[in-house]
Amino acid sequence: MNFKFGELFSGPGGLALGAKSAKVVAGGQAFSISHAWATDYDKDTCATYRNNICPDNPKSIVCCDIRKLDFRKLKNISGIDALAFGFPCNDYSMVGEQKGMDGIYGPLYSYGVNALSIFQPKFFLAENVGGLRNANDGKALDRILHELHQAGYVVTPHLYKFEQYGVPQARHRIIIIGIRNDININFYVPAPTHVIPVTCRAAIEKPPIPNDAPNNELTKQSQQVINRLQLIKPGENAFTAVLPEKLRLNVRGAKISQIYKRLNPDKPAYTITGSGGGGTHVYHWKENRALTNRERARLQTFPDNYIFSGSKESVRKQIGMAVPPLGIKIIFEAVLKSFAGIDYPKIENNIKNSTPDSQIVPVRWYCLRNKKNILSVKTRCE
């Protein structure tokens, strides 16, 4: 059984690579997932996805802001059996302003709900940051789970800690799996696969990155940054290290723990991000420099032959916003095993929807509050 896979907010292809890699065989029958179509708004991101996931079917990638997209265009490409949408996390991230549903990006999950109503796939996977649990005093996640249930799905949300699934990075993400409610299939959260996590040193050095590997350009460091890094030990940052006055950062308020933070080579990396100014590029445990994009990609479990398109900063953004394909492969394989009737090690999901329906504010209310922002998008769809 092959599930045709459509994707909204596709990013550079972390979810798609995990989906394509997932394979299960039961009773002589193979269960797999294959690409049907995908859409994202960023040209470099779309090029990366197109070149790596579906080079033989380039027209299956629709580069468009989803707020301007006619879903009939996707339906004309192909019907689907599975849908994924890693809806934008900007307004839910702990690093940002945490506007939640009141931000520009917060209500965009509703396009995933709309796609479920239109395509009615057998299952879906939705992804977002752990901060979603706390957005709008916890009501945003309840709202989203309610909408997904109302679209006709039995939903299983869980906060996955990807370092427990072989990803060499402490990356914690909410993954919601939904099975269409007319299908007699139960999905359970797969149990962690790694008691001992994979270290960032092992990910970057075993095997060594080839000298001619793509996206492996070094970032030039100023002498002041080099001087600062020389005094920062593995696992320390610019605020926990002992630095002379001339090398200290003049920052008021919160002292962000990842600023000029060196990796600890004996632990998984801290979370790789897609944006940020000086000091946020993730720093090597021994060499006095920021990681290359290829090293960052390894921490995200992308293979070395996965080539990212665009400028160095664009590639950094794509890698940081991606979902680790190795971790997501395990989740997709659990879904396939559920359809194949194969038992697998499982744990109880750690997120429940506890808000009564009467207390859930309709999504239209949030969209109306953001109507000016939503309707002012001027992106041309291709």
Active-site residue list: 89
282, HSE (Cβ side, Cα atoms, 13 Å): 29
Residue 170, Cα to own-chain centre: how many angstroms? 13
Query: Any idea of the CA torsion for 161, 164, 166, 167, to the nearest 10 degrees?
Result: 30
- For the chain, give percent helix, strand, coil, nearest 5: 35, 15, 45
341, HSE (Cβ side, Cα atoms, 13 Å): 7
Cα distance between residue 287 and residue 330, in whole Å? 33
Alpha helices per DSSP H over 253-340: 293-299, 312-321, 325-340
Cα distance between residue 152 and residue 216, in whole Å? 45
Determine whether 319 is exposed, middle or buried from the number of CB atoms within 10 Å of its CB (0-12, 13-18, 19+).
buried
Query: Residue 70 has which token pair?
Result: 């006619």
Cα distance between residue 293 and residue 369, in whole Å? 38
**Contact partners, residue 29, CB within 8 Å, separation at least 6:** 1, 340
Whole-Å CA distances, 218 to 211, 233, 293, 296: 11, 21, 8, 12
